[in-house]
Structures are given as C-alpha cells and as structure tokens.
Structure 1
Amino acid sequence: MSHTSPSSYLIWAILSCMLGIFLVYHLYAFDKFKCLKWNNGPYSGAFKRIMTYSYLLSIPLIITYSVGFAIIKYKEGYVYLELEGVVPTPYQLWAPLSKSAIFPLTLCFTMAWALEMVTHLEELCFWLFLVNAQGGQQDWFHSYYFRTWIVGSCVAVLYMPLVTIFTRSNPLTNEAFTFLAGSLGSLSLTIWFMPILWTFPSFLHKLKSEGADNATVIRLTKFHELNTVRVLCRYLFTVPLLVLGVDGARPHQHINENPFWTDFLTFIAAVGCMISSGITLIIFFPRSVESEIAARDASRERKRLRSQGSAIEIRGTDFGTSMSISEPPASYSRFHDSLAVKTNYSLHDFSPESHEVSFNSEDKIAAMEREEYPLSELPHSSTIRPNRKRGDDVELGGIGSLTEANLSRHNVYSSVNLMVHSYTSPISASDSPFSVLVPKA
C-alpha cells in the first residue's frame, strides 16, 4: 500500500469510476432502475434481493477504496530516503488523518471482495446445477448446490473482514494478508469454473440433439462466451494480488520492493477486476435490444395517436353504418402494438389524414384479416393465451407461440433440467415461487 506509486491507485480509481458510470447507464437502459426496488415483481424473494444488492453494493465499495487511497497517495506524494532514493512516502510519515483512513478503506475493499465471492460462488453452484441436474430435477432451491452457496457465502462474508480486523495493527501486514486471503478464495472459485467451461460445448451439443429451440441455444452460447472472457479476467485479477500477498507475508519481500513489478501487477489486477465486474453486470441484468426497440416504438405510436385531435371516421358502405371516435380504443392500441412489430400491418390505413376508410365488401375485411394474421406464417406451436394475473399486474393474452419452458414439455425426453430453456441470468431462478433464503426440509 505505502510502497505502491500514486499512479497505481489512480488507475484503480479511474477504472472503478468508469465501472460505476457503466453500472448506472446499464441499469437505466435495462429497466430504468426498477430492478433496484425491494419488491420488483411478484416473485422478488430473499434470494434475488441478496444477489442483486450484494453485487450492486460491491461496486461503490471498490470505488470508495480506490478513490480514497488515490487521494491520500497524491496528497502525501514522494519523499527522498537515503539508500533508497525518491520513493512514495511510507505510511509512517503520513499525516494523522491519512493514517486513520487506512483501516476503513481497507475494510471497504475487503467487504467488496467478500460480496464478489458471494456472487461468483452462486454462479458456480447454479451452473453446476443446470449442467448436472436431470430433466426431472427442477427445484434449484432444494438442491445441495443451493445449500453449498449458503454455507460458502456465510464463510466468505465472515472470514474476509475478520482477516482484515485481526491484522490491522500493521498496515503492511494487513494489506498482505487481505490480498492473500481474498485471492486464495477467488482463485479457488475461478479454478472450479474451468470444468464448466470445458464441458459446456458438449452440453450445448446435447441440447441441440434433443431438439432445443435456437433461441435457447443462442442465449446459452452467449452466456458461455461471456463467462469464458470473465474467467480469464478473474485470473488477471486474482493471480497478481496473490503474488503480492504471498510476497508481502514473507519476511523478505522481493516483488513488493521492486517499483516496476509492484505497479505492473497492480495495474493488471485493476483491469481484470473491472472487466470481470462489468461482464457480471451484463450477465446478471441481460438486455434485449430487440424488445427495447419494440417497446419504444410502441410507446411512440401510442403518444402519436393520443396527440391527434381530429376524429377518425370509419364508414362501412355495405353495413350502412358510420362510427366516429376521437381516439382509438385501448384494445385497438394493444392489438396494434402486438402486431406492428411482427407484420407489415400498419396504422397508416387508419390515419386521421384520410378521415375515412371504406369497406366495399366482406371480402376486403377478410383480406385485411388475412394480412394481419397470415396463417402460413404462424408457427406450429401457436396457441391462444388467456389473460393471467401475475401478482398486482395482469399479463395480457393473445395469439402467439408457446414459451420455451412449455415447448420443452412437448419433447419426448429431455436429460437436462427444464430451467435451461427459460434461463436468462443467474438470478432468474428467483422468479420461482420457491424464492426463499433457506430451503424447506
């Protein structure tokens, strides 16, 4: 800590602040911060809350640690020592206020690292559950993988702060053992991820052979690629800090006394930590750009229809009736929103500029219906979905395809867990009614 240069902590501060900015942008684009609410949806159980808030809390703690030490290091600057030359000012020569901030800032880093291990352990256990569970085993919350995550998370949250607290008398020893304890835990989890990365291509091949839909295979392939990059970045984060921790715990330091290797390993660890955390954010809160564009276009269309003051007159010449409305009904708006994205049908035919749409015969009406619902383009799995109540919300029904989870039930036999077909993120399992912290016996 006192032997590293101010520029090393400046790199940590810049990258952590960039990660914080990306966090704010991504959560706003994801659902405009709705995921931060305590009751986010009907199935926001304790598991989902713990996973969400533990990860989101780790990033501000890392920012506090890196920015705080960057300010202190530049404030204290450098000093000339005999036989050493110009070196960063040792902590023994720091101002009292700077000395008093060492332990709180180190504790922030320790807590952030412990919460990160909770996140990584959950992902490890959840992927092991998905890959190894058979088709009939569907309950993640009653599996021994879930119990392993609970025990491991409690151990991580307890032992990391305790190591920092018990070694706080000497800041150099405190930093060395904090790096050593954290890097050993994170490196162990990272190594355990290697069998998953190794066997996942064969797992995807098994899904294809059993007739899984392309959307599921594409989604899982994307997660596999992100996990591969993130595991490599976690090696970049843990191995340099492990080297610094082991060297700092020895009686004679060789690496920590070398300015080049100290700064080099610190820079590499910062890059690995921030990239890994950013990929974790993308995996936990995966965005669907297609759905976002469709929702945005539908919202703009509804606003355009509301802003039109002129009435739309629809006259049926064959029926001898005339109807005038000042605004399209809500059912019509929902009908258009669900179809405009998938078909060539447009509200242009009912635009208020024309003020009139004439139907000369029932054949024209049937032709329009065929254009709106081309039966040849409907998938074989199309079905009529009724309106369903989801907590306080109502899910509108309609005509569409079966969900991926229901499609998997039509398979004759599946050797994989059905949760694979509806997998969206490691915390998507909390959308189950079994979202409780401790599984029932």
Structure 2
Amino acid sequence: MSHTSPASYLVWSIMSVILFAFLVFHMWSFDRFRCLRWSSSGTFKRVMTYSYLLAVPLIVTYALGFAIIKYRQGFIAAGGVAIPKPYPLWPDSARSAIFPLMLTFAFAWSLEMITHLEELCFWFFVVKSTEPQDWFRSAYFRIWIVGSCAAIVYMPVVTVLARRDPLVCEAHTFLGGSAGSLTLTLAFTPILWAFPNFLAGLKAAGVDSATIVRLTKFHELNMIRVLFRFVFLVPLFILGVDGVRPHKHINESMVWTDFLTMIFAVGCCISSALTLVIFFPRSVEDEIAARDAAREKRRSRAYSHSLAPSNGRRTSSLTAAQEWDMPITASEAAHMNATAEYPASPGTAFDLEQQQQQQYAGQQRPYNFLPSIDEHTAEAELDGSAFISSPQMAYKEGHYDRARDVNMQDMASVGSASASGSMRKIYLHRRPSGVNPLVHNFRSPIDLGEG
C-alpha cells in the first residue's frame, strides 16, 4: 500500500482494464451476452457465471482506486531519497477509502477461490470417475459447496478483523488469500500429471476424435493457466509472509514490492483471461457456419418474396424451406419442369432443395431418404450403440444430453434425411463402455446441465 509506488498500481490497473475489455469482447462474441440472462441456465451455471464475472470488476475497482490515491499523494523525501507518502500522512478522505478497497479485494478473492475450487473438484470428478455418475450427486460437488461457503466468509472476515492497522490488514489479506489459493493450485497439479494417461485411456476406449481434441485443448489451457496462477500467487504470498513478520525485509524495499506487485498483476489477469476462455469456449467454425446459415436464410426469404407476385402459387410470407414441406400438385410439377425460376447459387442449401424438388416433381415424395451407411455405422447399429436423433429432440440420460452432442461437422459427415417432406438430421454415435457419458457431452466445466 503506502510502501508501493504509484507505478505498480498503474500497471495493475492497466492489466485489469485490459482483462475487463477482453471479457466484454469475449462474452459478446460468445453469444451476444445471452448467457448472462437469469433464465438462460440452471442454478449452478448461474452461480459460476456471476461469481467469476463479478470478480473482474471488483479487481478493477481495487486497482484503479489505489492507483488514483497513490498518484494524488505522490512522494516525500526521507533520508535523502524519495519514497511513496506513508498512509498516516494521507488526508482523511484517502485513509477512509483504504478499508472499503481492501474489502472489495477480499470479496474478489473469495469469488476467485470459488472458481478455482470448482475447477479442481470438477476435473477430479472427470478423471477419477469412469462409470456413469451425476456431477450434482457426487462427493466432489458437495466438497465444492462446503468450500465455496467457507471461502465467501473466510476472506472478508480476515480483512474485517485486521482493519485497525491498514498495513496489517493488507498483509493478512494477502497471506490468507494466497495461502488458500496456493493450496488449491498445488492440489491441481496431480490432475495435470494424470491427464495424459486419462486421454490415452479415452483413445483406447474408442472415444471419438472430436472429444479427444476438445479435452486436449482444455488440458493445454489448464497447464498454462496453472503456471500463471503460480506467478499470481507466489508474489502475494511472499509479501503477506513478510508483512506479518516483526521485521520486514521485502516490504521496506520499493524495488521488491513494485516487482512482486507487477508480477502479481500480470499473472492474475492472464490466468483470469484463460479461465474465461475455458468457462465460455468459443467455436469460430460454428460461429461462421451460423452466420452463413443466417445469411442464406435471409437470402432465401428475400427470394421467395420476389417470386410471389410472378407465379402467385404461394404467399409472400412463405420461405423456400416451408414450400418444400407442402405437397406438390400436378400443375406445380409441370410448372417446375417447364421453367427454371429458382436460380440459386451452386452448393447452397436452397439449391439443394430445388434440385430435390425437380427430381421428385410429379412423383410421390419418398417417405424416408437415408444416407449411405458405411461398415462402421452398420456395426454400431448391430451392437445397439447407434441411435438417431434430430436437433429438436432432447433425449437425455441423467444429465447427458445426446442432442447437444450433435455438431455441424457430425451432421455434415452423416448426411440429411427427409421424412414426410421435412428435413431431419441423422447422427450416429458410439458410446464406449467404461467412460463417463459426461466426457462425450463436455463443453465447459460450468455447462453441466441443470443443478
């Protein structure tokens, strides 16, 4: 506090503001802030989302508040050198802001510990459990609940009890928070050590490559994040231990306090940014596909509007996809054979529908059209591990939602089907035995269904 220079809090403020800007950009790109709606998810995901997102602005408030105070107070000359003005020489308005800012930092750290504990318990649950289990009924989930309640009470109480002396309050807050978070980080290292063997076991069990790639990506991000969590926690642990000692060696040196504070700021912001990427993983491929699909839908709708006045056989409110669901009369079939009124660009979904209309013009529409099934699919059907699912179907087994496991690449590789004139997606999936179904449907440590 008074023994650190204004530049150290300025660096901390810059890093935290960059983190907040990245948070806003990432959440907008992720789903346009829809995940922040109260009704968008279950209780568990809401708690994890809001606890993490509230921690970032609290850290920004703490860093900016002390940066403003430090620059306003400046330096004084002592022993022939310039040192930051000690807090007893600050005006009353500045001294009265010390405790609220420290309490803000304590609450932010409590929320960080909730996040770290949830990730620790979740990854232990994934690595250790091989049989179908429910996360919300596991012992790891109960450990997270008890630990989270302790963290949200523990940190503010430490700050409140030591509030009489600001330097002692700062030292105990740094020491208490860094000790708890450092314990969680050290407990996370066995997961990093065991994860390669866990991935090898999934490959041997026949888990699909997309799941292996997804878990490998999370493993690499976790390794980088744990490294920066050590960069974040070790400096504050050193400052906290030195602060509670009778004779302070490090806190009396502006060089060491500034260095450790700046290193802490870098580690804190980078590890928090990686946590955001892990909690809300973006798929650029799916985002581009969704934008292209929306653009094609608007194009098809505009084209159907432009066709309505010329042929008069459909109202302008119907799209080409809706027309395909309607029965074709003999006159319409003859009209489609005689004229080419649907100049859609090659390779689009609209063009595919027009080709199918022309192919079945004047004929009875097929009840079902199945894509070709290779020998692997046939084998999966024989052993009963394959199933057919549509995007609208929500077939769940416990908290394992098979419908959510359907992605665009899977559907494109299998093909499309037509049943009673409407397009359906077919997805065939093999579930290896001895593997927790949560692995197949895993997207994020907080996206685990209702709870």
TM-score with structure 1 length normalisation? 0.82
1:314, 1:357 within 8 Å by CA — same for their partners in 2?
A: no
Q: Cα deviations across residues 305-330 of structure 1 (Å, max 9, x unaligned)?
A: 33344216999xxxxxx955646537
The residue type equivalent to 2:126 in the other structure is L
Hey, what's the Cα distance between the residues in 1 that align with 2:242 and 2:80? 20
Matched pairs, number = 397
- Structure 2 residue 449 is the aligned partner of structure 1 residue 424: no
- Structure 2 residue 86 is the aligned partner of structure 1 residue 90: yes
2:182, 2:230 within 8 Å by CA — same for their partners in 1?
A: yes
2:391, 2:425 within 8 Å by CA — same for their partners in 1?
A: no
Q: Measured at CA, do residues 101 and 120 of structure 1 come closer, stay the same or move farther in structure 2, by a change above 3 Å?
A: same
Q: Measured at CA, do residues 48 and 346 of structure 1 come closer, stay the same or move farther in structure 2, by a change above 3 Å?
A: closer
Hey, what's the Cα distance between the residues in 2 that align with 1:400 and 1:389? 14
1:284, 1:425 within 8 Å by CA — same for their partners in 2?
A: yes
1:385, 1:397 within 8 Å by CA — same for their partners in 2?
A: no
Q: Measured at CA, do residues 334 and 224 of structure 1 come closer, stay the same or move farther in structure 2, by a change above 3 Å?
A: farther
The residue type equivalent to 2:110 in the other structure is A
- Structure 2 residue 227 is the aligned partner of structure 1 residue 232: yes
Q: Measured at CA, do residues 100 and 377 of structure 1 come closer, stay the same or move farther in structure 2, by a change above 3 Å?
A: farther
Which of 98, 107, 123 matches 1:127? 123
Hey, what's the Cα distance between the residues in 2 that align with 1:267 and 1:75? 20
SS in 1 for 2:82: strand
The match for 2:111 is: 115
Task: Report the RMSD for the aligned CA atoms in angstroms.
Answer: 3.3
2:125, 2:135 within 8 Å by CA — same for their partners in 1?
A: yes
- Structure 2 residue 319 is the aligned partner of structure 1 residue 329: yes
SS in 1 for 2:443: coil
What's the offset of the Cα at 1:135? 1.5
What's the offset of the Cα at 1:349? 7.5
Hey, what's the Cα distance between the residues in 2 that align with 1:159 and 1:296? 46
Q: Whose relative contact order is higher, 1 or 2, with alpha carbons under 8 Å and at least 6 apart?
A: 1
The match for 2:217 is: 222
The match for 1:180 is: 175
Hey, what's the Cα distance between the residues in 2 that align with 1:237 and 1:333? 59
The match for 1:438 is: none
- Structure 2 residue 265 is the aligned partner of structure 1 residue 270: yes
The residue type equivalent to 2:163 in the other structure is R
Q: Measured at CA, do residues 386 and 378 of structure 1 come closer, stay the same or move farther in structure 2, by a change above 3 Å?
A: farther
The residue type equivalent to 1:2 in the other structure is S
- Structure 2 residue 426 is the aligned partner of structure 1 residue 400: yes
2:73, 2:90 within 8 Å by CA — same for their partners in 1?
A: yes
The match for 1:338 is: none
Q: Which runs of 5+ in 2 are unaligned?
A: 326-345, 378-385, 396-402, 405-421
The residue type equivalent to 1:425 in the other structure is S
TM-score with structure 2 length normalisation? 0.80
- Structure 2 residue 196 is the aligned partner of structure 1 residue 201: yes
1:110, 1:161 within 8 Å by CA — same for their partners in 2?
A: yes
Q: Which runs of 5+ in 1 are unaligned?
A: 316-321, 336-342, 436-441
What's the offset of the Cα at 1:231? 0.2
The match for 1:383 is: 388
2:110, 2:155 within 8 Å by CA — same for their partners in 1?
A: yes
1:20, 1:59 within 8 Å by CA — same for their partners in 2?
A: yes
Give aligned-pair identity as a percent.
Answer: 52
SS in 2 for 1:398: strand
Q: Measured at CA, do residues 302 and 106 of structure 1 come closer, stay the same or move farther in structure 2, by a change above 3 Å?
A: same
What's the offset of the Cα at 1:347? 2.9
Q: Which residues in structure 2 correspond to 1:21-36 (within 5 Å)? A: 21-36=21-36
Hey, what's the Cα distance between the residues in 1 that align with 2:155 and 2:241? 16
SS in 1 for 2:207: coil
Hey, what's the Cα distance between the residues in 2 that align with 1:365 and 1:344? 24
